[in-house]
Amino acid sequence: MRALRWSLGILGDLFVSAGVLLLLFVGWQLWWTDVTANRVQAGTVHTLTQQFDSPAARGEQPTPVAFGKAFAIVRIPRFGADYARPLLEGTSHDILQQGIGHYVGTALPGAVGNFAMAGHRTTYGRPFHDIDTLLPGDLIVVETRASYSVYAVKRHVIVDPTAVDVLDPVPQHPGVRPTAAWLTMTACHPKYSAAQRYVVFAQLVHVYPHADGLPKGTLSVPKGAP
């Protein structure tokens, strides 16, 4: 009996240790990755802002975006006055750790077709954590070295991960030729799960030359926003 009690005690200690390690891992995933990712993404936004504002950038011709490269800044007033996240080309795991990802092969900001992007709702800075709070009419501003593309939210859907038609040139209408400029945002749903996708569709309402800046009030936080 003494040996059995000793064995059970050791087993209990092992379970407690495993539980502690699991809690530490969850804490790292949910907190520390946000801390490090937010620092990296803020640095990228700062670098892009300097590049976009430099006199040399005004005369540059648009070039194809390299995979993994940050090329735009996404601003969403509903998410707060200081919300600004880098947009990178690609949606691989390592890219989404660095910011919002642009689906390769979809339209570029301001262009006719479907400009589609993905972001985390939890961990790694969680840029789309509050995607479910976006309301019709809310603005999404995408800044590049050439322009500001301003989109207004139209609607949202919740779909299975296999529903790739949300990325079609006309979202959810396979084979239809686009005549308007759409923006599609995708993120896992519900929070802390990847069972489904939360998808927001927005439509282009204005494009402003970067040299002219944005009209006053464009980035004003909507009433009721956090």
**Which active-site residues does the annotation give?**
120, 188, 197
Neighbours of 219 (CB within 10 A): 17
The Cα–Cα gap between 79 and 45 comes to 16
Neighbours of 88 (CB within 10 A): 27
167-197 burial, b if ≥16 CB within 10 A, otherwise e?
A: bbbbbbeeeeebeebbbbbbbbbeeeeeebb
The Cα–Cα gap between 99 and 47 comes to 14
Which residue's entry shows tokens 């309402």? 205
Q: Which two tokens stand for residue 32?
A: 């520390």
Torsions phi, psi of 44, nearest 5? -65, -45
Considering only CA atoms, which of 121, 150, 118 is closest in space to residue 137? 150
Terminal CA-to-CA distance of the chain, rounded, Å? Answer: 60
The Cα–Cα gap between 183 and 142 comes to 10
